[in-house]
Amino acid sequence: MTQHPHLKRIDTNLPGVCVIEPVVHGDARGYFFESFHAKKYAELGIDVRFVQSNVSRSAQRVLRGLHYQWPNPQGKLVSVLDGEVYDVAVDIRRGSPTFGQWEAAMLTAANHRQLWIPEGFAHGFCVVSESATFMYQCTALYDSTCDAGVRWNDAAIGIDWPVAEPLLSAKDEKAPFLAEVPEDKLPVYVEP
């Protein structure tokens, strides 16, 4: 765990994937926290430039994922503005020592946590509250020609989703299992 006076970085078992906890300043009127500060995040090892920010709203039991872009991968800093989600990152970088492994974090409007998902990882989440408003800050622009995915319930990955029968898009229902994705359609692991 790395500390900063205004942030805490909690590393996961997937090198590079981490939870960020901001310091929240609050009183009876409400609260304030920095949702991103380039210099402070760089001091925690997240030295990135965001070029696109997205917000989605989803109903309870909606599962989105597992999504990634290749080529032209996106790093994502994700958070919840309203509600609660179970957020997942999966290492899909061929040659990685943690290939096929996953990590998850509960991101809620109340805990203000963020999950940093570096380039080369697939990402997905499911909504456990009545609804959720989810924010993505991305290091690369969305490119429909690079849009790709892995099946949410791939047994070889074994994600322990908290929703038994999720609501899925047609695209996510038909996404390939990780073993079915051609090698040239997967990100490449680069030694740190």
Write down the pLDDT at residue 5: 72
Write down the pLDDT at residue 18: 98
Write down the pLDDT at residue 112: 97
Catalytic residue flag (residue 136): yes
pLDDT per residue over 70-120, tens digit each? 999 999 999 999 999 999 999 999 999 999 999 999 999 999 999 999 999
Write down the pLDDT at residue 3: 66
Sheet holding 18-22: strands in order across?
2-4, 7-11, 18-22, 114-117, 76-82, 131-138, 52-59
Domains and CATH numbers, the chain: 48-176 (2.60.120.10)
pTM: 0.95
Query: DSSP letters along 58-124, please?
Result: EETTBEEEEEEESSS---EEEEEEESEEEEEEEE--BT-TTTT-EEEEEEETTT--EEEE-TTEEEE
Write down the pLDDT at residue 2: 63
Catalytic residue among 67, 68, 86, 112: 67
Write down the pLDDT at residue 4: 66
Write down the pLDDT at residue 192: 77
Write down the pLDDT at residue 62: 98
Residues of the chain falling short of pLDDT 50: none
Catalytic residue flag (residue 67): yes
Write down the pLDDT at residue 54: 97
Catalytic residue among 31, 123, 136, 189: 136
Write down the pLDDT at residue 1: 61
Write down the pLDDT at residue 13: 96
Write down the pLDDT at residue 191: 85
